[in-house]
Amino acid sequence: MLIDQLNFKLVNIECMPTSTKFNAIVDIEVDIGHLLPYLATVIRGCTYIDGTGELNYMEGGHIIAIRSRQITVTALSDEAEARQVCKELRNMINQVDKQRESITPTLRKHARLDPLTVYRELPGTNCGECGETTCMAFAARVVSRELKASTCKILLGKEYNRQRGRLRQMLEQAEYDLH
The verdict on 152 binding ligand SF4 (CB under 6 A) reads yes
Residue 73 or 135: which CB sits closer to ligand SF4? 135
Q: How far is the CB of 133 from ligand SF4 (least distance, A)?
A: 8
- In order, the DSSP letters of the chain are ---S--EEEEEE-TT-TT-S-EEEEEE-SS--GGGHHHHHHHSTT-EEETTS-EEEEEETTEEEEEESSEEEEEEE-SHHHHHHHHHHHHHHHHHHHHHGGGS---SEEE----HHHHHTTS------TTSSSSHHHHHHHHHTTSS-GGG-SGGGSGGGHHHHHHHHHHHHHTT----
Site string for ligand SF4, 83-112 (x = CB under 6 A): ------------------------------
In this structure, are residues 129 and 135 in contact, taking their beta carbons and an 8 Å threshold?
no
Q: How far is the CB of 172 from ligand SF4 (least distance, A)?
A: 19
Residue 6 or 130: which CB sits closer to ligand SF4? 130
Site for ligand SF4, residues 15 to 34, rule: CB under 6 A: none
Q: How far is the CB of 115 from ligand SF4 (least distance, A)?
A: 12
In this structure, are residues 121 and 166 in contact, taking their beta carbons and an 8 Å threshold?
yes
In this structure, are residues 41 and 113 in contact, taking their beta carbons and an 8 Å threshold?
no
Residue 42 or 170: which CB sits closer to ligand SF4? 170
Q: How far is the CB of 159 from ligand SF4 (least distance, A)?
A: 12
Residue 138 or 176: which CB sits closer to ligand SF4? 138
Site string for ligand SF4, 112-151 (x = CB under 6 A): ----------xx-xxxxxx-x--x--x-------------
Kindly list the residues in this chain that would bind ligand SF4 in the complex (CB under 6 A): 122-123, 125-130, 132, 135, 138, 152, 154-155
